[in-house]
Amino acid sequence: MGQTDLLLLNASNLPQLPIYPYAFVQVSAIARRFGLSVRRLDLLQVRREFWRPMLRELIQRHRPRMVGIHLRQQDTVLHFDYHNPQMGVMAGRYFPVQDTRALIEVLREVGDMPITMGGFGFTSHAHLLLDYLGADFGVQGDPDGFFARFEDVVARRELESVPGLAYRRDGTYQFNPRGFYPPAAEREYTDEIVDELISFYGHSQLYGSNPPTVAVEAMRGCPFRCGFCLEPHVKGRRIAYRDMETIVSELEFLLSRNLRRFWFVASELNIQGSEFILKLAERVIRLNETHPGSPIEWSGFTLPRFNESDLRILQRAGYAGALNDILSLDDENLHRMQVPYRSGQAITYLKAMAKMAEEESQAQATSPHGVEGLRQRLAGYFTLFLGNYHADERTIRRSLQQVDEHGLRENYRGAFVMAATRVYDIEGKYICATSEEEAKSIISYDERGERPFNLLWPSFYYPRFLMQRLGSTAEILKFFSFVGDTFLSLAHRMRKDWNWFLSRNTSVEQLREWLAGASSVPLGAHEAPPHVLEKAAHVLGELRTPALVSMMAPEPEQKPLWNEVARVLLEHLFRVHGKSVAAVTAHLGIQADERGIPRVSEYRLMERLYQRYDSVEQLIEDAGACLDVSGNSLAMLYLQWLLYANNVTIRPEYRDLLFEPPVEPASAVG
């Protein structure tokens, strides 16, 4: 076996989301262009104690002239992967910078070939990282110029003229001007690479019912200056589209290897409008027609600026929806963060996606073969970045108002709010926290948890106004968890434990008495499956103690059924005993249907309650006194149900974050 020019390694794969490094594909393709050979190894599945013997064997077998290390990212970019009290995560486990440093230390022990760093994560902080990692060279951005001068780099001659190269001279690192290059004009994938994809993922996963996406570059570069993003810094500000025929050739080759799910790599596929992505969609439609079988499915980063007609074309082409987070739905915040869309565009996009997802969901229900809808493909999750650097109280309030006004929440089974901005140093300036006072809100994390600010570690800026209002990062995360579960999605509804609620708020004897008073009234219409209604009617008709006990403390395997039965019977009680319900709703100034369900959203319900109360305890005490009800009355049961069913949380420090402050009356004049 001949000598390999470059042994390319990666120790930055995310364990919970393994991705075959697209850098392996692209670097190998560029090297081939210059007649150079590359061998590749991702170390995700190799335990640390086996690195040394495996690398020694690889180096002996391939005799690389140089080792290249790809650093895809410095961390997950998600603060809750490093500090999430609700999930019990107080210290992260994903530190690719430190893992890469350990890899270089092992390489120094087993060989003497030069080591070169590269990748998006490296380029983002090349000046900071190179000395820390201790590599011989670094390549900032695209490696085309590096491979064109590969022989010079290996021989360490004329290094100062190699585009994008960082190298050591007189004990310090020198950084050459970057070179920016267009996407590949030729096909990047080969049979050898596809075989490595199969080995990396496993045949059953790569060709299974839910395969990973295969990356194919469509364009690069971004002219925008969004206040949280490194893409223009790393990829350049000039937009360069890949030739459409080359993209199609890439897809045809991958289709010939029975790969049909793709991720189109781009800063944003619709960065200059919809023309390019619609042309891409049309070519995918034609490929589907000429390659019968399971249809192509694809996605990629996009801006939320599509209208419904464009989305329907994309849907017909197998578009699976974008994975981008929407910053907020507050136009002032979007302007300050310099993102290239406004709330109206984002809302139009979200509503169109929801409409199409509902249509596909209905088609799935009626189709004998089933249709995978957008709702299933997107997993029904909603994300807002309400903790961005330029957010304030109005950002949160206005975004929640928009979600409520446009009924967006009903489309999502879950939501999460990004509460902190990942801090980067771009050309000597932090991406946020520009003052010394603001820098106090930056928190870095290592394996033990919080540590002093250091950009070599995952570092996040938590908005000062939230730190001042809520007091700690844990309280900020708790607040946004409440917002996501209650106002942005149906998550809290889906987790309701009505068996627990009954056991906490009544007894078997009291429940029997209440149900007996309602047993002569038919159940009526309920949003529940027939078998649940049948079981509820049976319980109501006999009122036997074992059934009532099971409804309060069911066996685990019977929990789903009894939980729904409890919900149905509670609503039946409130419908039959309407006077008790009406007394509570009248006192609180809200309207409810015949089952006691408020006619307003959780957001509007809590807005009204926040106007009158500083805590749930105060609300309960006030209602109990004014209505003259005891703890074992149906009115009190309904009040507790109302609070639990709507996830009511009242904390004074939340008031101005969630709702517009009341307008002070103008003082009298004259």
- Model confidence over 603-661: pLDDT tens digits? 999 999 999 999 999 999 999 888 877 667 899 999 999 999 999 999 999 999 999 98
- The answer to whether the Cα torsion of 447, 448, 449, 450 is positive or negative is negative
Query: What per-residue confidence (pLDDT) applies to 307?
Result: 92
- Structure confidence at residue 531 (pLDDT): 93
CA dist., res. 421 & res. 79, Å (int): 8
The 3-state DSSP class for residue 118 equals: strand
Quote the pLDDT of residue 259: 96
Higher pLDDT, 84 or 413: 413
Q: Would you state the structure tokens that stand for residue 463, as one six-digit string? A: 């908005």
**What was the pLDDT predicted at 567?**
95
Question: What distance in Å separates the CA atoms of residue 532 and residue 537, rounded to the nearest whole number?
Answer: 9
Average pLDDT over every residue of 246-271: 96
pLDDT at residue 130 greater than cutoff 90: yes
pLDDT tens across 356-397, in order? 888 877 776 665 444 444 444 444 788 999 999 999 999 999
- Structure confidence by residue, pLDDT tens digits, 83-97: 877 666 667 889 999
Cα angle: 230, vertex 236, 237; to 5 degrees: 95
Question: Which three-class secondary structure state does DSSP give residue 493?
Answer: helix
Check residue 369 and report its DSSP letter. Answer: S
Say whether pLDDT at 666 is over 90: no
Res. 668 pLDDT band, cuts 50 70 90: very low
Q: What is the mean pLDDT of residues 121-137?
A: 95
- Residue carrying the six token digits 């493909």: 377
The arithmetic mean of pLDDT across residues 25-50, rounded, is 97
Banded pLDDT at 500 (limits 50, 70, 90): very high
Joined together, the tokens standing for residue 445 give 């994390």
d(Cα 481, Cα 7) in Å, to the nearest integer? 44
Identify the pLDDT of residue 2.
Answer: 77
CA atoms within 13 A on the CB side of 553: 8
**What distance in Å separates the CA atoms of residue 264 and residue 352, rounded to the nearest whole number?**
22
The pTM assigned to this predicted structure is: 0.90
- Kindly report which listed range (11-15, 78-82, 267-271) carries the lowest average pLDDT score: 78-82
Average the pLDDT over each of 92-106, 215-229, 297-311, 423-437 and give the range with the smallest value: 423-437
Output the CA–CA distances (angstroms, integers) from residue 43 to 11, 22, 52, 180, 291, in the order listed.
5, 15, 11, 29, 35
Residue 64, pLDDT above cutoff 90? yes
- How far is the CA of 21 from the CAs of 71, 113, 188, 586, in angstroms? 10, 23, 13, 61
pLDDT value, residue 669 = 44
Average pLDDT, the chain: 92
**pLDDT value, residue 276:** 97
402 close to 328: Cβ distance less than 8 angstroms:
no
